[in-house]
Structures are given as structure tokens and as C-alpha cells.
Structure 1
């Protein structure tokens, strides 16, 4: 079996031992859906022709992917690399740094897809999936997960210690969740700010894809291209800097 698939399989086996706790850690988007969609949403008029809960519903699916894939390739990956020395053990086999990055990314994307699928099921239970064609997004979720996982692996390859992830979440992840068209359309913001947000927040393009599928609209291929380029770039950078960290 290809080494990065062995790494992926190892992570699945490890996940099974703590599955319930790991799944519970991914319910934040569901809480946001309940609090903002059904709570605050009662006081918010329609947004772009949708009720507020319908507006944020497709975004909650994408935030679930972000949480699952990014958390797994930052905190958990750093623990495997630095505290458990699992990366060193893998490198003592025929696995390479590239295999480690790809295996961890694949696992992160898989975990993010699991989280998002649970959210989709909840949306169905609440009657928010008026268009069953939205289920097509399940085929797109792995790409979205790989994109966020590649960014996570890049940061894991360069941060000096695990505490830096707290700062990362505060200055990058939380703003990205708030200002990527998740809870409000960013077209109400100044033009210069919209340009900056689109340039640094890949979540914006993922949310657009999700909302297009939710509304049965054609997918803008530009969004997929941006995510593919982002994924390839950060994968390359993660491999480069992780090799420096572990070998050079």
C-alpha cells in the first residue's frame, strides 16, 4: 500500500478509539445554526431572498469542514509530530515527508467531510434541505477539506510551538469564519475590504460553492479553481517547510 494511504489508515484506526469525543468536538456549527439561525434569525429580515436560517445553513456545512480538517492538521498533527514523535517513526520506514503531508491532509479532509455530513443530516431533519440536489455537495466536500487541511499542515510545519495555534485561530480562523459571507453578505462592505477578504480567506469561495448548490444555481468554476490553486500551493509549502523541520 502507498505510504500516505497507510498513514491515513492509521489515523482512522486511532480515530475509532475516540470517535464519540472527536465527533462532539465538531458540533460548534450546529450550535451556531441554532443560536443564529433559529434565535437571532427570528429578528432578521430576509437576506438575499432567503430567511436568515436558510442563508446561513449552507455556510454551516462549510464551517464544519473547516473545523474538522483544520483542527486535525494543526493541534492534532502537531501533537503527533512533536510530542508523540510519530512523524520520526514514519520517516524511519519508507515513508517520506511528502507521504506524511498527504496522509495527514487526506485524513483531515475525511474528518471534515464527516462533520459536514452530520450537519447536512441535521439540516434535513429541520426541513432546511428543500432542494435535495444540495446533496451533490458531498462530492465536493473532500476538495474543500483538502484545501483547509493543506493550510493547516503549512502552519504545523512552521509554528514554533503548539500555543501559536491559539493565536492563529484568533487572528485568522475566527475572522475568516465571520467575514467570508457566512453570516452576512460581504457585498455590504467597502470595496477595498472585500478585495482583501477574497484574497486571504479561501472559506469565502467554499461558502459560495455551497450556497450555489443550496439554491440550485450553476457552480462558478472560478471558485473551484481558486480552491485548487490554494490547495496545491499550501501543499507544496507544507512539504517544503516540514522537510526543513524534520530532516534538514
Structure 2
């Protein structure tokens, strides 16, 4: 498949700049130790599905979902914008037998791999810290891949509308509130009904709920809703990104 050639190209590039690759993994780790462990020493925990979950075990799966999001967003926004507008990588690729469909699949696959690597490392850290309480946690890594798919597909599509680096302030503006308020550090039950409905409609919240249910073993019907939501968002984003690439690069 031609899309894998693009994935291999990115692997060669990051082999020489591995430190840049690692930095995206560190932010959720710092959050886990500072808030999950530090603040957790003063907070008993929260009720999840009728079970009291220790605070660190409550925050950890949320940071797991956040690490998957960070890995996918890093490549599907900033890096794709550079390749599209400055490096002109896609113009060169389309001279070959590669199509815009291959470009979209290749970029989303790479972003998915990056998010998955971050998530795998974070999940191992959770196991080492004793923050995994159920065998269903083995499905947390596939769940993180779904989170990566959702953010990579939609991120790539939205990036095709960016006009300059200043536009990426909107990316930060969207990610920071999601990181802070998507049920990551406290339950959303304290929000007013309208605010709670808005939060529940965000992709990171769906990812947080899915990872938390899997790592605690408290799986409910909400898990199925989250899976459908994330898959739909990812596929839709990838299809829309391909259409935008057709318009930008072939017309």
C-alpha cells in the first residue's frame, strides 16, 4: 500500500530527532505525578459506577487518553501544516503514483502510531504504579488508538483550513479546556446540565470515559457509545481531509 511509504518516511525522520518525539509523552506524565499523586494524597477519591476509585486511579486513565490525544494532534496539525504549506511534501508525493487518499491514510496512520506509542508507554507506567484495577485494561490500548484516530482524522481536516501559524492558537484554545474539564481531574456531575451536555459531546471526554471504565473494570453501555463516537469522528475527518487535499493540491 502506497500510504505505508509515507509512514516509513516519517519513521526515518523521527529516528534522527527522537527527543522531539518523546516530549509529547511527558506532559500527561507530569500531570499524573503533580495532580494525580500529589493532590491525590489529600483527596480520598471519587465515586465511579457506585465504586470508590482512589484519586490517582481516577486521574491516570484520563491522562492515558490525553497522551493518545497529544500524540495524534502533534502530527495531524502542526506537522501536517508544515509539510503542506512550507515543505511542499504532498506536492512532491502526488508526482508519484501516490494519491490524496494515500496521503490522508498515511498521515492518519502515522499520527495513530504516535498516539499509540505514547499511550502504550503511559499504560505501562500505570501498571508499574499499581493504578490498573482490572484485566479489561488490556483493551485500553485499542481504545487509545480510537482516540488517536478521532483526533488525527479531524485534526488533519481542520489543518487544511489553516492560513498561518497564528491560526494554531485555536488548536490550543480547544485542547486546553478539554484537557482540564473533560472529567480528567474531577467528575463532571457538578456542572450545570447545559455545560455537562457540552462536555459529554467532546471527543476527549468520550476517550476519558472509555479508558477509565476499562482500567477500573466498570464497563457500561457508555463504552459502546464512546467507541462509535470515536470511530465515526475519525473516519469522517479522514474522508473530509482527503476532499480538502483534492481541492488544494489537484485544482
In the other structure, the counterpart of 1:207 is 208
TM-score (norm 1): 0.93
Partner of 2:4: 5
Deviation string, structure 1 residues 101-124 (Cα, Å, up to 9, x no partner): 111000001000111111111112
Specify the alignment match of 1:123 in structure 2: 126
Q: Is the 8 A contact 1:71 1:152 kept in 2?
A: no
Calculate the TM-score normalised by the size of structure 2: 0.92
Q: How far apart are 1:21 and its partner, in Å?
A: 3.0
Return the offset for 1:77.
1.2
1:189 matched to which residue of 2?
A: 191
Measured in 2, the distance between the counterparts of 1:227 and 1:136 equals 15
Alignment of 1:81-100 (within 5 A): 81-100=84-103
Q: 1:166, CA displacement in angstroms?
A: 2.5
* Residue-pair matches, total: 245
2:165 counterpart SS class: coil
Write the distance in 2 (CA, Å) between the matches of 1:125 and 1:228.
30
How many Å separate the matches in 1 of 2:233 and 2:36? 30
**In the TM superposition, what are the counterparts of 1:1-248 in structure 2 within 5 Å?**
2-48=1-47, 49-170=52-173, 172-199=174-201, 201-218=202-219, 220-248=223-251
Let me know the Cα RMSD of the aligned residues: 1.5
Structure 1 segments, 4+ long, off by >6 Å, are none
Contact 1:80 1:86 in 2 (8 A): yes
Question: Per-residue CA shift, 1:151-173, capped at 9, x if unaligned?
Answer: 11012111111221133212x11
- Give, in angstroms, the shift of residue 132 of structure 1: 4.2
By how many angstroms is 1:178 displaced?
1.6
Q: Which runs of 5+ in 1 are unaligned?
A: none
Structure 2: give runs of 5+ residues left out of the alignment. none
C-alpha separation between the residues in 1 aligned to 2:123 and 2:44?
24
